[in-house]
Amino acid sequence: MSLFEDRSRRRFIKSFVLGTASAIVAGQPWRGAFLAQAQAADPDVGILKIKLSDYPSLLNEIGSVRLGLNPMASDSSGPLGFFYPILVNRGFGNEFYAMESFCWHEGCVVPPYDPEEGAMVCPCHQSHYEIDGTVWPDQMSSNSLTRYNLTYDGDETLTIEVPRLGYSVTALPIQNTNPPKLLLDFPTKEGVEYEVQFRSRMEDAWTVVPFSRSLDGAEDAMSLIADPFDPATWPNASIYVSRTRAMGFYAVSVKVLNLTEI
């Protein structure tokens, strides 16, 4: 099956800024300075920041969601791309856990936590996992789920470090166009969907903006999926945005799917 046959099944999409953003200072020319919007100590690690209010099940104890950086195959046998879904669970009180849904027995995708079972149960061979990803004794899988570093700000936001997801964006001002443009170049991962966001001031919310795939092309693209069969999108992509404001910040972000229900 193609990576992209399942796009119609993407139903609840959140966007998280993972790359760096290009900035301009009021009254000065555009330049290639960068603002680190979300950056881990390891440049190979990507940062996901999620709000509990966006995922109602995480507002309650023993809540669980499954988030995807790639869509799932129609038979739920695995992801259509590089990344397995991420399980985010809430235990008692303010205990939160994030982990990869890859079952070490035969690579099946582990579903969200089931309170009735008291476990996350692999659909292939019934291996059971605790809410923190620890495998039960005497299961087909002998390994616990891979845990990701997670911090909670005590209020609204979870910050999750995802290995192999980190990237940075190189910005190059282009002055000989009307209006002037900004070339954004960044590495991509197979099957991941990217979009461009903008905000005029640091305190403003990010807004998704259109871009073009070529210098002279129309700015009518709202996202880009990294396709290994398309050298324009993988393993690197170059896109263009018009610089129509005196100051502001651009960022390249990824779109994250709610795969709690398949």
Greatest distance between any 2 Cα atoms in the chain? 67
Q: What is the pLDDT of residues 110-130, one digit of tens each?
A: 999 999 999 999 999 999 999
- For 228-243, give the DSSP string: TT-TTTSSEEEEEEE-
Beta bridge partners of 225: 193
Q: Report whether the peptide linkage leading into residue 163 is cis, meaning its omega lies within 30 degrees of zero.
A: no
Q: Which CATH class is domain 48-162?
A: mainly beta
Upper half-sphere CA count for residue 148 (Cβ side, 13 Å): 28
pTM of the model: 0.81
Q: What is the pLDDT of residues 123-166, one digit of tens each?
A: 999 999 999 999 999 898 889 999 999 999 999 999 999 998 88
User: Tell me, what DSSP letter sits at residue 86?
Assistant: E
Model confidence at 200, in pLDDT bands (50, 70, 90)? confident
What's 59's DSSP letter?
A: G
Give the SS3 label for residue 262. coil
Break the chain into its structural domains and give their ranges.
17-38+164-258, 48-162
Residue found by looking up tokens 């166009």 in the block: 177
DSSP tally for the chain: helices H, then strands E: 0, 18
